[in-house]
């Protein structure tokens, strides 16, 4: 009999778990490391390494432009890459709600497998737990990524310097608006797709050509404004952004006005900020714009000494305002 839904004993460690591992996880994620199915994976890697972990609880689990499985790969691959590393390995932990349709789980795991192959990372170990109905909402996924740092000095939020320029790799706010419009049941004329994507191949090309990059960071939860606040704080500098240079799709800015949101605070899952000395900005932009994932890259601002720890937004008329970090959780379960 074909089982249509996830049962509690799929997480028991017994026969049912083993069937699930073999028929689903190994089938879609398998590789020579994972397939050994020992207690732990053996990795051949040379230091220094970049490691990052993240848990994914996005609601809904399928959204325009992606799903929780692809997001769990892209999100962690991107964090590992931002340190100037080639992501190599991923671990994944699943917490499943009893009753989750097997078809949904299979679609999610398939999507993870595709995303991992595209990013060139191996899923090397994993875990599955099933909890009773109502104790978790459908599926939560944790991934940890490991990569080899290949630049002499890793980019870091502490390295922004007055005189640097600030680049962004494309349109901001797409992921946040895609999730919110689906959750709120809004239908815009042109549906906004999540930008979720693995940026590691572009980042490797960029850093191999321009190792002088000071900061790389993906503006995920809290968006561009929050990420720039983190960097301004870590580096003790002012980040100044020119409002009319930040790329925002018309449909995203339209959706934001409707929902009372600011696209600069919306999550992105396939964009990065690059801060570097002005003399390298043109070359970096050329590399970014030559890649489909950076086609709409733009120079949006500069680093100054004036207001340490602050993000200043300059309007087209020359007015300025501070862009603070938000208080509390603006948009729960966005990633």
Shortest gap between Cβ of 19 and Mg ion (angstroms)? 36
For residues 25 to 64, the per-residue mask of contacts with Mg ion, x marking binding by CB under 5 A and - elsewhere, is ----------------------------------------
Q: Is 79 in the site for Mg ion (CB under 5 A)?
A: yes
For residue 123, give Cα distances in angstroms to 25, 128, 231.
Answer: 10, 14, 31
Using CB under 5 A, count the residues that bind Mg ion.
2
Please give the Cα distance from 317 to 57 (Å, whole number).
41
Q: Is 269 in the site for Mg ion (CB under 5 A)?
A: no
Shortest gap between Cβ of 54 and Mg ion (angstroms)? 8
For residues 178 to 217, the per-residue mask of contacts with Mg ion, x marking binding by CB under 5 A and - elsewhere, is ----------------------------------------
225 touches 264 (CB < 8 A): yes
| Binding segment toward Mg ion, per CB under 5 A, in 75-83, 240-248, 265-273, 274-282 | 75-83
For Mg ion, the binding residue among 97, 218, 251, 269 (CB under 5 A) is: 218
Please identify, using beta-carbon distances, which residue of 148 and 230 lies nearer to Mg ion: 230
Please give the Cα distance from 154 to 163 (Å, whole number).
20
| Binding segment toward Mg ion, per CB under 5 A, in 22-30, 77-85, 124-132, 270-278 | 77-85
Q: Which residues have C-beta within 8 Å of that of residue 75, sequence separation ≥ 6?
A: 54, 56, 143, 196, 220, 269, 335
Please identify, using beta-carbon distances, which residue of 20 and 199 lies nearer to Mg ion: 199
Look at residues 79, 193, 139, 148 and name the one whose alpha carbon lies nearest to residue 333.
139
Shortest gap between Cβ of 220 and Mg ion (angstroms)? 5
Element (H, E) at 251: helix 250-259
Shortest gap between Cβ of 152 and Mg ion (angstroms)? 22
Shortest gap between Cβ of 79 and Mg ion (angstroms)? 4
Q: Is 104 in the site for Mg ion (CB under 5 A)?
A: no
79 touches 145 (CB < 8 A): yes
Shortest gap between Cβ of 75 and Mg ion (angstroms)? 8
Look at residues 36, 120, 40, 108 and name the one whose alpha carbon lies nearest to residue 69.
108
Look at residues 319, 81, 328 and name the one whose alpha carbon lies nearest to residue 226.
328
Please give the Cα distance from 282 to 299 (Å, whole number).
9
Residues at the interface with Mg ion (CB under 5 A): 79, 218
């Amino acid at each position: 009999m074909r089982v249509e839904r996830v049962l509690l004993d799929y997480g028991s460690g017994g026969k049912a778990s083993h069937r699930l591992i073999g028929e689903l996880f190994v089938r879609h994620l398998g590789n020579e490391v994972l397939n050994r199915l020992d207690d732990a994976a053996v990795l051949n890697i040379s230091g220094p390494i970049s490691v990052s972990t993240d848990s994914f609880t996005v609601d809904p689990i399928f959204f325009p432009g992606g799903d929780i499985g692809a997001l769990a790969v892209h999100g962690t691959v991107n964090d590992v890459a931002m340190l100037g590393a080639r992501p190599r390995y991923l671990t994944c932990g699943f917490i499943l709600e009893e009753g989750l349709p097997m078809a949904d789980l299979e679609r999610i795991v398939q999507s993870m497998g595709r995303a991992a192959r595209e990013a060139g990372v191996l899923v090397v170990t994993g875990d599955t737990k099933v909890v009773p109905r109502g104790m978790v909402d459908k599926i939560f996924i944790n991934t940890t990524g490991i990569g080899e740092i290949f630049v002499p000095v890793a980019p870091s939020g502490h390295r922004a310097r007055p005189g640097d320029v600030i680049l962004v790799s494309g349109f901001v706010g797409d992921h946040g608006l895609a999730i919110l419009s689906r959750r709120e049941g809004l239908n815009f004329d042109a549906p906004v797709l999540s930008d979720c994507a693995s940026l590691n191949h572009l980042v490797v090309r960029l850093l191999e050509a321009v190792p002088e990059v000071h900061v790389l960071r993906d503006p995920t939860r809290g968006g561009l404004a929050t990420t720039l606040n983190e960097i301004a704080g870590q580096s003790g500098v002012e980040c100044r952004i020119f409002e009319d240079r930040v790329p925002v799709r018309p449909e995203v800015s339209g959706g934001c006005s409707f929902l009372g949101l600011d696209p600069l605070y919306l999550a992105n899952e396939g964009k990065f900020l690059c801060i570097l000395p002005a003399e390298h900005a043109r070359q970096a932009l050329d590399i970014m714009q030559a890649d489909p994932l950076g086609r709409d890259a733009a120079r949006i601002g500069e680093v100054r000494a004036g207001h340490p720890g602050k993000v200043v937004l300059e309007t087209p008329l020359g007015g300025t305002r501070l862009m603070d970090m938000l208080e509390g959780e603006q948009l729960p379960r966005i990633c």
